[in-house]
Structure 1
Amino acid sequence: MTDWLIASNNRYKTADLIACLNLVGITAKPYTDDWSPLTFPVETTASYADNARLKAQFLAQVTGEPVIADDSGIEVPYLGDKLGVTTKRYLQQDAQHSANETLLLALTDAPENERTATMTCTLCAVFPDKEPVMANGSVDGVIALAERGMYSSGFDKLFELTARHQTLAELTDDVRLPLTHRGQAARQLAQALQKREGK
């Protein structure tokens, strides 16, 4: 069984991705379990796929081991192109507020029906000297007016699933993970890897 390294210095994202991958039978761990922290190449503003591939190929070249990288973001049509692939950079510009607070402030004047949002994830799996395998996942919802939930953190506290009227953070991991953008991308990645291996 392949043990994958996760190409990220974000502990929350790494733990969340590992949990999603475990659900679909993929074993992974933080790359920092075996390696000192690295500085990854600067991300582009072009696409989730480009950023995920850049991180995965970089770490695979450094370590010589199989790597999975994630690039993800939240897209809110009301805010135009401020988020999406540049989500992290846009929200980090506001040093006085958390990412969730910044997002809520940006939506202060938005009518309820304009708070629709999509969380998107692209995964890239790289074996050294092999073509990358890509996978995507997304989930639609609405930005809640306040943080709710204790089972997760970050945007999960604001992202309300339309059909359930609950935020992702109000759902236990066994319910939440398969519904998330990472959970769906992980399932697609497992299927793609199995197909490549002829299983």
Structure 2
Amino acid sequence: MLKIILASRNEGKLREFQALLAPLGWEIVSLASYPHLPDIPETGDSLAANALLKARTVARLTGLVAMADDSGLEVDYLGGAPGVRSARFAGEPSSDAANIALLLQLLKGVPWEQRRARFRCVIAVVTPEGEEHLAEGAVEGYILEQPRGEEGFGYDPVFYLPEYGKTFAELPLEIKNRISHRARALASIKEILSTLTYRRP
């Protein structure tokens, strides 16, 4: 079976990748299977740069195909912020509650029509030979004035989808996983992997 290393130790993310990519017959493992590998700082200035940095590093260190992703929230009124800084928007140590509080403070009094936002995800696949592929997915919505819902993580409680009348944190997980930015990027990367010329037993 062909193997891809996901440049993450997040087991929830691993399960999500495995579920969608299973029909391709690839074995998807995470960095948890390679405890000797270091954590890779996200020092890029864009989602694509961070995804490529992680995938390139893991491909180089393992000699296997590597896959990595980076995601962020882009708010039009804030010029696309927090963007690549989404996880650390309110500073270190990172905190979902602090990030949401800062976001809502910056949008205080901003009218509904100017609160448009999107979640964006970029996935990179890199082979040891240096073949590189990128895929992107996005989902559009608005930022509420107050959090709603108990599910999800990050900015999910304030990210509202008009077509569902709910935030990401209020949606059933099976629906969120079908329509999310990561799911859409994964659907694109699935097409890339199905035609990937590099193969290793």
TM-score (structure 2 length as normaliser): 0.83
177-186 vs 55-64, greater mean Cα deviation: 55-64
Report Cα offsets for 1:104-133 as digits up to 9, x if no partner.
122112112211101111100122214012
Which stretch of the first structure deviates more once superposed, 135-144 or 104-113? 104-113
- 1:156: which partner in 2? 156
Equivalent residues, number: 194
Please say which of residues 132-141 and 84-93 is displaced more in the overlay: 84-93
| Separation (CA, whole Å) in 2 of partners of 1:134 and 1:102 | 31
1:171 aligns with 2:174: no
CA contact (8 A) 1:159 1:167 kept: yes
Tell me what 1:79 maps to: 78
Of 20, 44, 58, the match for 1:23? 20
Pairwise CA distance, 1:139? 0.5
Distance across 2 between alignment mates of 1:160 and 1:154: 13
CA distance in 2, matches of 1:58, 1:141: 34
Contact 2:65/2:127 (<8 A) preserved: yes
The amino acid across from 1:6 in the alignment is L
Name the structure 2 match of 1:128: 128
Aligned partner of 1:66 in structure 2 is: 65
Deviation of the 1:42 alpha carbon: 4.7
Does residue 91 (structure 1) correspond to residue 93 (structure 2)? The answer is no
Q: Which amino acid in structure 1 is aligned with residue 109 of structure 2?
A: D
2:85 corresponds to which letter in structure 1? T
Q: Distance in 2 between matches of 1:157 and 1:126?
A: 33
Structure 1: gaps spanning 5 or more residues: none
The residue that corresponds to 1:194 in the other structure is 194
Measure how far apart 1:18 and its partner are.
Answer: 3.8
Q: Secondary structure at the match of 2:187?
A: helix
Identity %: 30
Post-superposition offset of 1:155: 1.4
Distance 1:123 1:89 in 2: 20
Match of 1:184 in 2: 184
Task: State the AA in 2 paired with 1:108.
Answer: K
Looking at structure 2, the residues matched to 95 and 134 of structure 1 have their Cα atoms a distance apart, in angstroms, of 27
Worse-superposed segment, 113-122 or 86-95: 86-95
Deviation string 1:124-160 (CA, Å, 9 cap, x unpaired) is: 0122214012110000001122222233111122211
Given the superposition, is the C-alpha separation of residues 76 and 7 from structure 1 closer, same or farther in structure 2, using an over 3 Å criterion? same
Please give the alpha-carbon distance, in whole angstroms, between the structure 2 residues aligned to 1:17 and 1:104.
Answer: 31
Q: Point out the structure with the larger helix share.
A: 1
